[in-house]
Amino acid sequence: MNLPHWDLSNIFPSLESAEFEQGFANVVARVNALAALFDAQQVERTPNATTDAETVRAFDAVMDAYNATMDEAYTLMMYIHSFVATDSRNALAQAQLSALQIHLATLSKLGTRLVAWLGSLDTTALVAQSETARAHEYALRRAKIEAAHQMTPVEEELAAELNLSGGSAWARLHGNVSSQIMVNVELDGETKALPMSAARNLASDARRDVRARAHHAELEAWEKHAVPLAAALNSIKGQLNTLSARRHWESALDEAIFDAAIDRATLDAMLGAAREAFPAFRRYLRAKARALGLERLAFYDIFAPLGADTRVWSYDDARAFILTHFGSYSERMKGLAQRAFDEHWIDAEPRAGKRDGAFCMRVRAAESRVLTNFKPAFGGMSTLAHELGHAYHNLTLAPRTAVQRSTPMTLAETASIFCETIVKQAALREANAQEQLAILENSLQGACQVVVDITSRFLFEQRVFEGRRAREWSVQELCELMTDAQKETYGDGLDPHALHPYMWAAKPHYYRDSMAFYNFPYMFGLLFGLGLYAQYQANPAEFKKSYDDLLSSTGLADAATLAARFGFDLRQPDFWRDSLRTLEKEIELFEQLVG
């Protein structure tokens, strides 16, 4: 069957349409009007500022205008991004994105000015006098801290302008180059040129010789493009190092921890518990090797299928299964998924120029779009449920303002993990032993990536940042750093001579120009989501009373405060150990099924 492409014509008919042109002009006008309002109200760092009635009126007007502008600009940006993400060769979309980024840079500078201004005000006095301030109290208190880490206004403005031709440009280079790489893979006696996303999908092929050929062809392709990608990585990390130091953060990691709305004690507790669980995950990898008849897994065996997944997981079957089991939780969750399928929110077909992986993006209000590269297997269905979980989260956030919706990465995975777990548990209940093995393999494969591989990526990035303070890293050095981190985390679970030295090139997360360490929040999200699911199983009725409110509040409180609603203390290893034990039980069952 033909897999669906998403449809955004209800936002604008096309990039060439008069409606899009008008929408673009409207955003530019809004940004310019907001800049004029900021100038008129002197929204900037203001030493010894008073919080009188006039200041309160100015604050209310500024926040209303800022939220409205952010909403409209975000929708336009996501609309254009939808074309770039599905076809990086779309010259018109690339041009429009480049043109929009100039105005987004202006909006970013206004956001920096807003933070500086809010940092000058008496937050307690403002909250006491303004309903708008009370609704945004958490953001105001974070702004106070963030303002203390700002450079001078002139420096912040210059940094935003230079980012267009600096970090942002390098990030776009990585996205464009990596999405256009063609990989020459021998299949069935014939050499075929495949998009990188399709070549990487062969890692889940049942035939080991196909996986091995695809892996080595992929490494060869990355090697050919490694020099510009290494330049991009060095430039982005160098820029983030410089800005973190200028803003008086101890390191880029400390800034990332603040952005994630956690603290160092929480991160250390989680990573420490993860390390304790490595032996269990290595047992899983060794058991998988036995099931495949191998002495030890190579990196290209990590995603090899196991078990007799005799159930057909076509796209239509995935849709029906998700709707049924989302409905077992609530009609609201099912209704969201039904709307996503019926209104063509989902782009599922892998194709040349389309970016690899999967994501969900909110486009406006309660409306999202989901990108996947669907595979007709349980994993394809599970990934789709995961991304629809993000869409459900967006639904709960719809009544909030743009500022209130600003969810840290640590909490952004909460609903997606929960929804993914719903369908996994349902599939396990309906499966025979061989199908259970396939489902557990899919689950543990993903969990191993999030706990073990994420730790390797964290260690790699931490070391890149540290070394980048002194000089740039060469391609060879980046590859060595990557394999060292993989050896340290996977241990004897993988063949140390068959790793993936170019994972630093393959993972787009390293190339975010505005955020470092786009890795540990995924581990947080998995383990936090599993903890919540355990609460749901223990008391479904009570859980449902507060779950949607928790999702709707992910931009209104830090992670520890939200976790406390369910009795979790994130700064203690025990919470993380308890979540990891649920995975260790799956590993034990997996070992039994492997026999």
Q: How far is 61 from 167, CA to CA, in rounded Å?
A: 33
Tens of pLDDT, residues 535-565: 898 899 999 999 999 999 999 999 999 888 8
Average predicted confidence (pLDDT) for the chain: 94
Chain CA centroid to CA 176, Å = 19
Degrees to nearest 5, angle at CA 570 with 411 and 441: 65
Assess contact for 383 and 358: CB atoms under 8 A: yes
Q: Indicate the angle between helix axes 475-490 and 226-246, nearest 10 degrees.
A: 80
For the residues 408-437, what does the mean pLDDT come to? 91
Give me the DSSP letters along 53-83: HHHHHHHHHHHHHHHHHHHHHHHHHHHHHHH
Q: What percent of the chain has pLDDT over 90?
A: 83
pLDDT band at 435 (very low <50, low <70, confident <90, very high): confident
pLDDT band at 233 (very low <50, low <70, confident <90, very high): very high
CA distances to 9, 480, 508, 566 from 164, in Å: 29, 31, 18, 42
Residue 443 burial class via C-beta count within 10 angstroms: exposed 0-12, middle 13-18, buried 19 and up: buried
Quote the DSSP letter at residue 362: E
Q: What is the pLDDT of residue 565?
A: 83
Mean pLDDT check: name the lowest of 63-72, 393-402, 533-542: 533-542
pLDDT beyond 80 at 134: yes
pLDDT band at 308 (very low <50, low <70, confident <90, very high): low
For the residues 216-223, what does the mean pLDDT come to? 97
CB-based contacts of 306, cutoff 8 Å, min separation 6 = 288, 291, 292, 437, 438, 441
551 Ramachandran zone, left/alpha/beta (phi>0; psi -120 to 50): alpha
Q: What is the pTM of this model?
A: 0.83
Backbone angles phi, psi at 370, to 5 degrees: -120, 130
Instruction: Return the closest-CA partner of residue 534 out of 500, 585, 468, 481.
Output: 585
pLDDT beyond 80 at 312: no
pLDDT band at 442 (very low <50, low <70, confident <90, very high): confident
Q: Map tokens 């430039």 to a residue.
A: 235
CB-based contacts of 487, cutoff 8 Å, min separation 6 = 496, 499
CB atoms within 10 A of CB 328: 12
Q: How far apart are the first and last CA of the chain?
A: 37
For the residues 300-305, what does the mean pLDDT come to? 94
Give me the DSSP letters along 210-257: HHHHHHHHHHHHHHHTHHHHHHHHHHHHHHHHHHHHHTT-S-HHHHHH
Q: What is the pLDDT of residue 40?
A: 97
Q: How far is 313 from 287, CA to CA, in rounded Å?
A: 25
- In this structure, are strands 367-371 and 359-364 parallel, antiparallel, or unpaired? antiparallel
pLDDT beyond 70 at 461: yes
Q: What is the pLDDT of residue 369?
A: 98
Tens of pLDDT, residues 317-362: 999 999 999 999 999 999 999 999 999 999 999 998 998 889 999 9
pLDDT beyond 90 at 62: yes
Tens of pLDDT, residues 140-185: 999 999 999 989 989 988 998 899 899 999 999 999 999 899 999 9
Tens of pLDDT, residues 500-521: 999 999 999 999 988 899 899 9
